[in-house]
């Protein structure tokens, strides 16, 4: 079956521009996660959704980052006024349920480069 998909696969933007990254989870998965993978920082957790709700936004690096999920499916991660330090691979994952040990299935990521 279809896995997690993300778009675009690559994004190059100029410093100060806004970008939107999209994630399509596996059909029927109620939980969705965003991670960031960057040199020197490894894989860091950003935010998770249970349905359309994001109970904990403390993992977002700054208030320039926001995320939403609509219809319990697609999620968008928005970065406003991008900075060079935002350059990274943004990974999305989904799991069937939110709970202990639920396997998270990852998408291929969006590689963001801020010039």
Partner 1 sequence: AQSVTQPDIHITVSEGASLELRCNYSYGATPYLFWYVQSPGQGLQLLLKYFSGDTLVQGIKGFEAEFKRSQSSFNLRKPSVHWSDSAEYYCAVGPLRGNKLVFGAGTILRVKS
Of the candidate residues 38, 45, 64, 66, the single one contacting partner 1 (CB under 8 A):
45
82 within 8 A of 17, measured Cβ to Cβ: yes
> Which residues have a Cβ under 8 Å from the Cβ of 98 and sit 6 or more positions away?
30, 31, 48, 50
In the complex, least distance from residue 16 CB atom to partner 1, rounded to whole angstroms: 28
111 within 8 A of 63, measured Cβ to Cβ: no
Give yes or no for residue 93 binding partner 1 (CB under 8 A): yes
In the complex, least distance from residue 75 CB atom to partner 1, rounded to whole angstroms: 14
In the complex, least distance from residue 102 CB atom to partner 1, rounded to whole angstroms: 6
Phi and psi at 100, nearest 5°, equal -60, 125
Judged by the rule CB under 8 A, the positions of this chain that interact with partner 1 are: 4, 31, 33, 42-43, 45, 48, 50, 55-56, 59, 91, 93, 95, 98-109
């Amino acid at each position: 079956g279809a896995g997690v998909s993300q778009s675009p696969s690559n994004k190059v933007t100029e410093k100060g521009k806004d970008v939107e990254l999209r994630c399509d989870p596996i059909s029927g998965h109620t939980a969705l996660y965003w991670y960031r993978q960057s040199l020197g920082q490894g894989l860091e957790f950003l935010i998770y959704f249970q349905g359309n709700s994001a109970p904990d936004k403390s993992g977002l690096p700054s208030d320039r980052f926001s995320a939403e999920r609509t219809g319990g499916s697609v999620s968008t991660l928005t970065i406003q006024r991008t900075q060079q330090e935002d350059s990274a691979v943004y990974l999305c994952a989904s799991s069937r349920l939110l709970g202990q040990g639920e396997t998270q299935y990852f998408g291929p990521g969006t590689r963001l480069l801020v010039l």
